[in-house]
């Protein structure tokens, strides 16, 4: 919103979760005192920031009754459903330590839910509550940390993996699951230290620690003089670049153990400059299980992709790719193929039937007359989402439906007609 606009209108604007005074000073430049009675409401967890923005209203902690109501809602679905054998004295101790902080109460309720009541005392004593000046903050942090360590090992690993995404980033559940499959992450023992190195636009992109197995670059810029671009990464298993502008990145030949390569982000902010040369040496990533390229400026996928014999997921979403190379048909272990071009029809050659391990297939275009016959060979298919250009071609439509009927394991089917983007079934 420009200052010209805010100067002549009445407005009420809410700005949530400001972290620093510098952020507020930058934001506040956009607003002018128009003398029209406009208001700005800000929220922050930092008292210094609150005092800088104007008059401060400090939220009081929940009352004892409201704290108990919130705890019971998390444990039993409401106070009225509380059983007669509920341990009242222990509940008072727990709520006292929570200090009326909703996050602490909700977290400990989810932690205790489903546990035998005999174990509740052990949970309470294991957390190790603080009693200093910032005891509410410290205790909330300890409750959250304890709930993390109370998770099974495989869920801890999954939770840690989510740190590769920027805050408030929309995560595609199905794509995320394929990434976990590629890393074998449900079988990994989590090593909390060096699990992932996250580099964002607020940091100097120094060379990652030698023990880092995952690197995530978020909301940043990788320029020619960047240290990361010149770093050898023999130990890195996963490399993510999310919502970034990339003019140069580490040579793919420097990744000797890479299992996941995911480069993508917001359509307007993600630029992969220079295109094809960034995928040079892609055929040397022999351990690669997941390859994701979305919203990036490349016009073709290198033929060398056919060397990735262990690849399980190929996720392509580009405005410029027109055709998949024939070498993709050599990927015998491919389980998920997502190929979509937003502005052009992405043509799939006749080799699709070679991918007999496919469980999920999403295609932007299926003009090949042999596609129905090729589709019949994909007996492991569970998810099928395709666009076909001419539903008026009765013989071809019948052949397609007959092939789909042959897919005994299909669970989700989406057919989109070119004549009408809303025409799907």
3-state secondary structure of 370: coil
Tokens representing residue 308 in the block:
């990735």
Q: What is the pLDDT of residues 323-334, one digit of tens each?
A: 788 899 999 999
Of residues 220 and 26, more confidently modeled: 26
Q: How confident is the model at residue 268 (pLDDT cuts 50, 70, 90)?
A: very low
353 neighbors 380 (Cβ within 8 angstroms): no
What is the distance between the alpha carbons of residues 299 and 311, in angstroms, rounded to a whole number?
Answer: 21
Domain positions in the chain: 3-53, 66-150, 154-346
How much is the average pLDDT of 375-380? Answer: 92
Q: How confident is the model at residue 97 (pLDDT cuts 50, 70, 90)?
A: confident
Question: What pLDDT, on a 0 to 100 scale, did the predictor assign at position 7?
Answer: 54
Q: How confident is the model at residue 275 (pLDDT cuts 50, 70, 90)?
A: very low
Q: Which element (helix H / strand E) includes 143? A: helix 135-149
How much is the average pLDDT of 28-35? Answer: 72
What is the distance between the alpha carbons of residues 197 and 217, in angstroms, rounded to a whole number?
Answer: 8
In CATH, the number for domain 154-346 is 3.80.10
Indicate the average pLDDT of the chain.
77
How much is the average pLDDT of 331-359? Answer: 82
Q: How confident is the model at residue 361 (pLDDT cuts 50, 70, 90)?
A: very high
Q: What is the pLDDT of residues 39-48, one digit of tens each?
A: 889 988 788 8
274 neighbors 255 (Cβ within 8 angstroms): no
Angle at 283 between CA 357 and CA 224, to 5 degrees: 130
How much is the average pLDDT of 125-130? Answer: 65
Q: How many CB atoms lie within 10 A of CB 296?
A: 25
Question: What pLDDT, on a 0 to 100 scale, did the predictor assign at position 28?
Answer: 84
Does position 123 have pLDDT exceeding 90, yes or no? no
Highest mean pLDDT among 41-50, 209-218, 329-338, 348-357: 329-338
Does position 189 have pLDDT exceeding 60, yes or no? no
Does position 306 have pLDDT exceeding 50, yes or no? yes
């Amino acid at each position: 919103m420009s200052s010209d606009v805010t100067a002549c209108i009445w407005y009420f604007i809410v700005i949530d979760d400001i972290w620093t005074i510098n952020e507020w000073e930058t934001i506040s430049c956009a607003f002018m005192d128009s003398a029209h009675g406009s208001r700005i409401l800000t929220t922050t967890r930092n008292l210094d920031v609150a005092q800088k923005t104007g008059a401060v209203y400090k939220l009081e902690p929940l009352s004892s009754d409201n704290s108990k109501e919130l705890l019971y809602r998390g444990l039993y679905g409401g106070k009225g459903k509380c059983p007669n054998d509920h341990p009242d004295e222990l509940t008072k101790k727990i709520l006292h330590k929570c200090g009326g902080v909703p996050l602490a109460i909700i977290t400990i309720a989810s932690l205790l839910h489903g546990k035998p009541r005999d174990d509740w005392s052990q949970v309470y004593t294991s957390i190790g509550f603080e009693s200093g000046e910032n005891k509410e903050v410290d205790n909330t942090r300890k409750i959250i940390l304890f709930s993390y360590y109370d998770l099974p090992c495989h869920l801890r690993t999954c939770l840690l993996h989510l740190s590769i995404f920027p805050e408030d980033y929309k995560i595609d559940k199905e794509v995320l699951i394929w990434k976990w499959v590629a890393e074998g992450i449900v079988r990994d023992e989590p090593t909390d230290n060096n699990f992932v190195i996250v580099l964002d636009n607020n940091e100097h992109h120094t060379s990652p620690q030698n023990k880092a197995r995952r690197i995530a670059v978020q909301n940043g810029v990788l320029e020619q003089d960047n240290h990361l671009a010149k770093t050898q990464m023999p130990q890195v298993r996963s490399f993510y670049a999310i919502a970034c502008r990339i003019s140069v990145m580490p040579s793919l030949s420097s990744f000797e153990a890479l299992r996941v390569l995911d480069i993508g982000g917001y359509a307007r902010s993600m630029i992969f400059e220079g295109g094809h040369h960034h995928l040079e040496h892609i055929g040397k990533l022999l351990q690669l299980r997941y390859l994701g390229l979305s919203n990036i400026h490349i016009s073709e996928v290198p033929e060398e992709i056919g060397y990735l014999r262990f690849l399980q997921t190929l996720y392509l979403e580009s405005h410029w790719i027109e055709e998949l190379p024939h070498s993709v048909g050599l990927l015998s272990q491919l389980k998920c193929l997502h190929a979509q071009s937003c502005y052009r029809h992405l043509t799939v050659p006749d080799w699709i039937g070679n991918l007999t391990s496919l469980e999920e297939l999403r295609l932007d275009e299926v003009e090949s007359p042999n596609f129905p016959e090729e589709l019949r060979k994909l007996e492991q298919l569970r998810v099928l989402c395709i666009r076909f250009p001419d539903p008026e071609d009765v013989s071809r439509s019948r052949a397609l439906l007959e092939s789909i009927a042959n897919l005994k394991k299909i669970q989700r089917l989406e057919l989109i007609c070119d004549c009408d983007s809303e025409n799907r079934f």
